[in-house]
Structure 1
Amino acid sequence: MFNFTPLLGAQSASAASQSLLEFDGGIKILIDVGWDEGFDAQKLKELEKHVPTLSFVLLTHATTAHLGAYAHCCKHFPGFSRIPVYATVPVVSLGRTLLLDIYASTPLANAIIPPEALGEFNNARTPNILLQPPSPEDITKYFSTINSLKYSQQHQPIPAPHTPPLSGLTVTAYSAGHTLGGTIWHIQYGMESVVYAVDWNQAREHVLSGAAWLGGGSSGSEVLEQLRRPTALVCSSKGTGLAASARQRNTRDDALLSLIRETVQKGGSVLIPSDSSARVLELSYLLEETWQAETTKSGANASLKEAKIYLASRAASKTMNSLKSMLEWMEEGILKDFEAASAQEENQQQQQQQNRGRGQHVNKGDDEKQARHPFEFRHITILERKSRVNRMLATPEPKIIVASDTSLEWGFSKDAIEALASDERNLIILTERVGEPVQQQKGLGRHLWELWHERSQASAQELASAAIINLSNNQVDIQSTRIAPLEGKSENELYQQYQARRKQLASTTQGEGGTATAEADAREEGSETSSESSDDDDIDNQQQGNIIQASAIAQHKKNKTELTDAELGINILIRKKTVFDYEVAGKKGREKMFPYVAKRRRADEFGDMLRQDEYKRADETDQVAGEALRDANSKQLNAIGQKRKWDDQAIRNVNGVAPKRTRPDGTADDEPSEDEEDKIQGPSKVIFGTATININCRISFVDFSGLHDLRTITMILPLVKPRKVILVAGEADETTELKAKLDDLLKDESKEGESIISTPTIGQTIDASVDTNAWTVKLSRSMVRKLQWQNVRGLGVVAITGRLEAASLNEPSEQLDESAANKKAKLDASTSASAAKDPDKMDTTPILDVVPTNIAARSTAQPFHVGDLRLADLRKLMQASGMTAEFRGEGTLVINGTVAVRKTGTGKIEVDGGAYALADPRSADSGTFFKVKKKIYEGLAVVAGG
């Protein structure tokens, strides 16, 4: 049985994606933990209900729509961080930098506490209180626990604690295109084969290779065998209504560059909203290579050289640094060019060394020819601070700004459009259709997309033509957000009461472990003013206490003196200095023991963890003559062992000015930062405002979304031949249109006119199991003794030829001894008597018995082979046997240079090279053919009914 339920992203304008897959035995798989630009915590309520029963989680793309809520769930959903998560290496690395960018850019990512969660404390004047966001260290920790997989690597995941075993379930990742490390997941469980392909792209791009349907690109002719004929194919319908010609690489690149060149020649600037970790790689690579080519031009042909390119994102440096170790995940052309340039650079260095040895002059201009990583930019300036972005926007010269985010609701793209919208020479290029958060007001990005879409259609222009729409005095209301600390006693008490309710609910549903997690979270959130502190070990071990005390402590954690003696309980012995006795008569649990918590010994795979402070040298401590340096002003300049700071006079230069340190984006370390004004410690709230801007600039659209189009999906699906198709991740109108077209295309696969295509809505469960007819029978004792099981990849296989008998007939007992026959007769008598009293309890299951000898000869079945042989496995077997085995051509394995093994599209194995068996028997080639066939048969099970 296989059930599919879209939690988010089905027939919806929101781009968020969350899918739940359920198999027999209580196995639940969550694919993607997406969010949209609204960051509404209410949309995650359905996901929170399934957290205790999830077996593991799979992630597909490093975008907000696919993992935007991952850190939020780890932070605020009890038990979610203990669920195993699987993804590719680029998705893990780029997803981490994406969330760092999001939480540093918008306070809405913290998530507003839903009003209904406040219960009876809610009123009309309730402020928009924010949850405590995960820190950068928390985000790094959450992503470090994700299990990374490679493409085509079959893996048997480990289920979460307290969930059923997976019983041989395997997951395999295949390239999906669209983003670096983007994944098509293949899930195999028993007879169920599920392919989850949401947001894929078959075409090759500058940085990304195509999807793996045809072997990793469009050059193949057949679909990969592992992805062929699945039980169910979950596919996205997003963007299938757009013109296919607009997505061709050459067409879109020329359209984008022509728009930029035209705008720069008029003295205007270009704003390109993009994400900060996925599609921005394709854009930045194209612009860098274009500007690099412009340096060799002169005159009017080099019009782009005067314009500067800026990449504005708060985590751009981290993103580009993480790409340095991901060349093997990129398109093959990039890797080959980099290897060729590296080899050329090595030859040049050797030549320079020889010239130096001969005393010849070395040209310093060769440094420009050195091999560099594709994302080591020479023409793109990275901006990570708001102050630098504002200074860049204030400059009058033409510029190209690639800024996060596509929705224009957060990130530097929102600041850029406010600065550029008033000049009619400027141009905003939308690179993908912007989604719309459900049940929220329309965002600026969605508004501009609809304006362009409507006016371009009204002017009879195709969507692929990169039409430019002039907006004159178009006023748009944009939403502004400002974070502020909670004010007054009422707001703080409201937040504390919410926290107490959450901790009580967690402790009730999860027992002592939930209480420990609740208390740890309570101490973690806003506990800076607490009068007592404890380390993480003490918090982790404080797993006892009742719900009332945990709630009271969380509610009054900022003022311990308000707790009554009854609320303190046994903790009164350590909270009050004048109390030395406590009545334990009639108490239970921890109320009968002194409140002492032993420290837990922390260890890793190498043994006990060491404390670095205990092994510091004397010159590394902040002490002089055994006295601590409490006052920073009293430090001596040249005291032995004193650690000097950057602002110390001891390291100032001769002019009395301390040297400045620079950050990765080029700003000085002591430069005043506008970003730090919004950082508030402790509970906070968000204040919404509305601002009106006049848009006089121009807008256009060039499709850089990197998604499959209607032509591609209608070509791939007939080759895949899925038994059922589930369409998700698209708006309602395009999903309906795509279903109508696929019904005509896949009508041969349907039975009796039934459609094999399902279009569920959010929360609707679809039964996508294989249509099979199953019957239940009992095997006779004679039949059980005759069975000879064979193992094929963990499955028991046996062929049975038998005769079906009615349940009322007794099994033949001539083969039983006298005692066994008597026992069986008594058992049958008692069974008949009980069945006569209650006919409903009578067992009507038929019995499968052996075929009598007089008709056995006429019912013997022919032997057949069961199993699946992979050529890669056969290659390893032949190499282990001392033979040479290598792939030549496409899908052909050659052993010893004489025998060729091929696998057809239907799974049939063809072995060529039998002519060598007639050669000289003393030749080594004569036995290769038979050895290969023997190894093939050893990998299969030969079964036959007898």
Structure 2
Amino acid sequence: MITFTPLSGAARSARTVPLAYLLQVDDVRILLDCGSPDWCPERVHADEDENEPLPWEKYCDNLKECAIAPTVDLVLLSHGDLSHSGFFPYAHANWGLKAPAYSTLPVQAMARVAASEDVDGIRDEEDVGDQPEEPAEETTGEVAPSSPSPSPEQQAPSPTTTSPAKRRRYVATSHQVVEAFDSVTVLRYSQPCHLQGKCQGLTIIPFNAGRSLGGTIWKIRSPSAGTILYAVDMNHMKERHLDGTVLMKPAGGGVLESLARPDLLITDAERADVTTARRKDRDAALLDCVTATLTSRNSLLLPCDSSTRVLELLVLLDQHWNYSRLKYPICLLSRTGQEMLTFVRSMMEWFGGTISKEDVGDSGNNDGRRDRRRRDEDNDEDALGALALRFKHVEFFMTPQSLLQTYSNKDPKLILAVPATLSHGPSRSLFAEFAEIPDNVVLLTGRCEPGTLGRQLFDKWNDSQREEAKWDRGKIGSNIMMDGVLKLEIHSKVPLEGAELEEFLAKERVAREKEAVHQAALARTQRMLEADEAESESDSDDDNSDDDEDEEVDEVERTLSAEMAVDEDEDTAKLAARTTRRQKRKRDADGGGAGGEWGLNEGDEGVTRISFDIYLKGNVAKATSFFKSADGQTQRFRMFPYVEKKRRVDEYGETVDVAMWLRKGKALEEDAESEETKEARRRKEEEEAKKTVREPPSKFVMRTAEVQLACRLFFVDLEGLNDGRAVKTIIPQVNPRKMIIVHAPESATNELIDSCAKIRAMTKEIYAPNEGETVQIGQHTNSYSLSLSDDLLASIRMSRFEDNEVGYVYGRISNVASSTIPVLEVAAHTQVATTQRQPARGRILGSRPTQALPQSTMIGELKLTSLKARLASVGVQAELVGEGVLVCGAAAKRGQGADLHGDSVAVRKTARGKVEVEGSVSDIYYVVRREIYGLLALVAA
């Protein structure tokens, strides 16, 4: 039984991202991808209702319900971008999504980079609402102080705000991102992973999907549900840094054998109705636009992602810069740009395309020697083995301010800024200033998520094109001149100044004082308890111990006297009582006699004094009756709270204190370290502490900027996805038994369904569920346990098929009193004889009764390529002619001048599960038939 529920990115949906699907195979629930939406969408109208549900709320509620239950047993991540893996850190840290997660190594690394870039960019600009805040009063103006904080981790509540984004957004922290992706188990391509625990019996295998580094097609094998293929966002075309998906063999070789004919295919149809222009034309259009703009002394802004598709752009631009010998800078504006390149340089085995050839010098005889010499001259250790990923022309910048300090607005340059959606971060702040400069170019390479500024700019460009030049018609459009005024909300974080800074420092000072007083009170209470315990133990000691205790009490009194900022009256009373008791003990030690022993000394007439071996806190009154006082009220006495300390023992003796041994082990390790090592570690810690700059108190600011558009806008599709022609060609060759369409708008979904309906061999069981809609595939099967009798087991004729042995069983079930499991026994001969005597009517005199022939079944699927190889091993020539026809014998040797009149046999696959062997009765015929039977398992009754 297979149950499939799209949590987000469903078919027939206007919002096809993010991707997250819940697949249930029997009792195992698998989360396929866990993408995050864009948390900073544009406000369509200025008077937009802030209480209106945001587009991601339903998705977040569904995912939270699945994660908290918890009902997810397995997580599979297919690509390392935000739309596939961005939400996993938050769900892992806050909702308990602790199920085993799997991905390839590049997906794990690239997803960490993308998520870190996203959460840092959002948290540096807006208050994401980690802590519940009281409703704030709105203020007028463009600036809104929010969350003054000395550090991103500790932020004070905001007194006022006008930001529309105060509604809940699920943004993780940098530490949560690292922790979540460290828990992901990485696999290699084509590496089977046999799961254990609740998922026992399932096998997952990753295959190359193309489009992104480490992009994965997941193959899930279940003993009950069969083979499930999850293949989304594929690219069959070879790119500069990646090979195409392995689903399609190169040069029209068909589908990879291990991925063909799955029981269920889950795939996307986002571009089923799109015709993409040729890659050569798209690359040429982008490079021509870049070169023409820079040579005219203008600049380009290219919004990009931070981990996946930016690699293809960098390789393309770097090769163009080397070929054209351009001197203009390529500026990558990203916090994680250098970290991302450090990761990818250590993953050269995952690359393809032209990068691997360039690294090993396969383009010529002397190229490898020249590349090694150039690498030695440059002495670039980080680029060892990654010559094509050095990007000598790329400069890295962390913030827009650092970029503008190096290059002014008048300097021609190409800027790659994150994120691609222009919803927040460096790309948005740069666009506000960049778009006002005439003849500058904003170059888009993707359509982005609906509701973002990047999608609005794409729609503006697409609507300005002629009907035959739109992006989905297979043509390259032209750039357009933008005009008008665009209102943008710019969020930023600025240091506090003036009265706001003084107010914050005053609040911080008061908070520190309260914390100091609280800590002093705790320490004082602890010391008082320790002093009381010491006093109670000292009553049974000798006179010398009393003197020592007096000194300790004096020390405690001096300490307490210096810390009487809180509860002064109570502390004074306690000190006085303690001083009185100390003087009494001195008098008793000097020879108080019997009266001193009981606390009744000479000269103390009229004074009632009670003495105990221990100090009892509180006032203890003397009562004549233990049960009742004179006025009828019960007298209450303070009792010493004695707790007997019991030694913990087990059946072997005293239990082992693990903490004590750990402390001793750590102490021994520290003692074993040399003084040089300790000094080096101490210096390192001091240097790190000095490098950690304490962030000044700051606030979140939102301003509305009116951008006067004067730049040019151009779009070139470099998303690296299959278009409609490829999708309609690949899916029929995969030929699944059942198919589920996801991640597609309504027009593309209908286009793919209509295309598959025209193919007679394609399955008719195609599902396109909406978001939250559950699709059930297959029916519940009941399994029973049977025990085979010895007689039946001896009568079975087994046939070997691959790694299994198969046999035909015919019998009857009987119950045995000594066992709860039914036994399958050999059928009685009387029943068979009765069955054979039934057709007695119409018998011819002297004829024998008819008998049913034994039934036989062929198990397996005949592959003509396997049959050809098997015939060649026995000396029979065979050639494939046409589609689904294998000619064997003399007819296969015509090209070699052999006898044309010899015996020949044709093997033809006419339909699914049907094979025809056509030819004259000859030795070749019997040899071919024998080899066909050898490739299949014959099971006879």
Structures share a fold, TM > 0.5? yes
2:762 is matched with 749
- Residue type of the partner of 2:230? Y
C-alpha distance in structure 1 between counterparts of 2:252 and 2:483, whole Å: 50
Instruction: Please identify, of 862-871 and 101-110, the stretch whose mean Cα deviation from structure 2 is larger.
Output: 862-871
Question: Is 2:748 the counterpart of 1:734?
Answer: yes
| Superposition deviation, residue 907 in structure 1 | 12
| Superposition deviation, residue 142 in structure 1 | 2.5
Larger radius of gyration: 2
The 5-angstrom pairing of residues 322-471 of structure 1 reads 322-340=343-361, 344=366, 347=369, 373-392=387-406, 394-436=408-450, 442-457=451-466, 464-471=475-482
- Residue type of the partner of 2:361? A
C-alpha distance in structure 1 between counterparts of 2:276 and 2:174, whole Å: 40
C-alpha distance in structure 2 between counterparts of 1:611 and 1:470, whole Å: 73
C-alpha distance in structure 1 between counterparts of 2:827 and 2:881, whole Å: 39
- Residue type of the partner of 1:331? G
Gaps of 5+ in 2: 41-55, 139-157, 505-514, 521-565, 568-616, 619-637, 645-655, 837-850, 894-927
1:768 is matched with 777
Q: SS in structure 2 opposite 1:223?
A: coil
| Superposition deviation, residue 705 in structure 1 | 0.5
Instruction: Please identify, of 276-285 and 367-376, the stretch whose mean Cα deviation from structure 2 is larger.
Output: 367-376
Cα 1:858–1:148 shift into 2, 3 Å:
same
| Superposition deviation, residue 473 in structure 1 | 2.4
Contact 1:801 1:859 in 2 (8 A): no
Contact 1:252 1:703 in 2 (8 A): yes
| Superposition deviation, residue 735 in structure 1 | 2.7
| Superposition deviation, residue 55 in structure 1 | 1.8
| Superposition deviation, residue 47 in structure 1 | 1.5
Match of 1:183 among 191, 212, 216: 216
Question: Is 2:738 the counterpart of 1:724?
Answer: yes
Cα 1:849–1:165 shift into 2, 3 Å:
farther
The 5-angstrom pairing of residues 455-604 of structure 1 reads 455-457=464-466, 464-478=475-489, 480=491, 482=493, 599=659
C-alpha distance in structure 1 between counterparts of 2:783 and 2:385, whole Å: 67
C-alpha distance in structure 2 between counterparts of 1:382 and 1:466, whole Å: 31
Match of 2:95 among 73, 77, 83: 77
Question: Is 2:274 the counterpart of 1:279?
Answer: no
| Superposition deviation, residue 900 in structure 1 | 11
- Residue type of the partner of 2:771? I
Q: SS in structure 1 opposite 2:387?
A: coil
Q: SS in structure 1 opposite 2:288?
A: helix
| Superposition deviation, residue 861 in structure 1 | 3.2
Question: Is 2:928 the counterpart of 1:944?
Answer: no
Q: SS in structure 1 opposite 2:247?
A: helix
Q: What's the TM-score once normalised by structure 2's chain length? A: 0.62
C-alpha distance in structure 1 between counterparts of 2:688 and 2:492, whole Å: 36
1:542-561, Cα deviation, whole Å (9 max, x unpaired):
xxxxxxxxxxxxxxxxxxx9
| Alignment: residue pair count | 697
Match of 1:60 among 71, 78, 81: 78
Contact 1:267 1:397 in 2 (8 A): yes
C-alpha distance in structure 1 between counterparts of 2:743 and 2:171, whole Å: 28
Q: What's the TM-score once normalised by structure 1's chain length? A: 0.62
1:505 is matched with none
2:807 is matched with 799
C-alpha distance in structure 1 between counterparts of 2:226 and 2:6, whole Å: 19
Contact 2:801 2:937 in 1 (8 A): no
C-alpha distance in structure 1 between counterparts of 2:344 and 2:285, whole Å: 27
Contact 2:276 2:471 in 1 (8 A): no
Cα 1:332–1:252 shift into 2, 3 Å:
closer
- Residue type of the partner of 1:59? L
1:45 is matched with 61
1:714 is matched with 728
C-alpha distance in structure 2 between counterparts of 1:241 and 1:48, whole Å: 34
Q: SS in structure 2 opposite 1:449?
A: helix
| Superposition deviation, residue 207 in structure 1 | 0.8
- Residue type of the partner of 2:767? S
1:268 is matched with 298
C-alpha distance in structure 1 between counterparts of 2:275 and 2:232, whole Å: 19
Cα 1:2–1:792 shift into 2, 3 Å:
farther
1:221 is matched with 253
Match of 1:99 among 115, 132, 137: 115
1:19 is matched with 21
C-alpha distance in structure 2 between counterparts of 1:92 and 1:611, whole Å: 38
1:3 is matched with 3
- Residue type of the partner of 1:179? S
| Superposition deviation, residue 697 in structure 1 | 0.9
Q: SS in structure 1 opposite 2:752?
A: helix
1:149 is matched with 187
1:240-292, Cα deviation, whole Å (9 max, x unpaired):
343322xx321110010111122223321111111111000000000000000
C-alpha distance in structure 2 between counterparts of 1:903 and 1:389, whole Å: 63
Contact 1:89 1:150 in 2 (8 A): yes
Q: SS in structure 2 opposite 1:214?
A: coil
1:144-169, Cα deviation, whole Å (9 max, x unpaired):
2221111122221235xxxx3432x1
Contact 1:236 1:727 in 2 (8 A): yes
Provide the alpha-carbon RMSD of the alignment: 5.6
The 5-angstrom pairing of residues 614-629 of structure 1 reads 615-621=672-678
- Residue type of the partner of 1:5? T
Question: Is 2:275 the counterpart of 1:208?
Answer: no
Cα 1:747–1:453 shift into 2, 3 Å:
farther
Contact 1:864 1:943 in 2 (8 A): yes
- Residue type of the partner of 2:674? R
Contact 2:792 2:825 in 1 (8 A): no
Gaps of 5+ in 1: 296-304, 353-362, 437-441, 493-526, 533-560, 563-576, 586-595, 624-639, 649-660, 662-668, 681-685, 805-809, 828-842, 875-889, 916-932
| Superposition deviation, residue 88 in structure 1 | 0.9
1:601-643, Cα deviation, whole Å (9 max, x unpaired):
889xxxx9999755442245469xxxxxxxxxxxxxxxx9978
C-alpha distance in structure 2 between counterparts of 1:374 and 1:580, whole Å: 82
1:170-196, Cα deviation, whole Å (9 max, x unpaired):
111111111011011111112421111
| Superposition deviation, residue 792 in structure 1 | 8.6
Contact 1:724 1:757 in 2 (8 A): yes
C-alpha distance in structure 2 between counterparts of 1:15 and 1:529, whole Å: 52
C-alpha distance in structure 2 between counterparts of 1:131 and 1:612, whole Å: 46
Question: Is 2:292 the counterpart of 1:290?
Answer: no
The 5-angstrom pairing of residues 629-644 of structure 1 reads none
Q: SS in structure 2 opposite 1:49?
A: helix
2:915 is matched with none
| Superposition deviation, residue 694 in structure 1 | 2.2
C-alpha distance in structure 2 between counterparts of 1:912 and 1:224, whole Å: 29
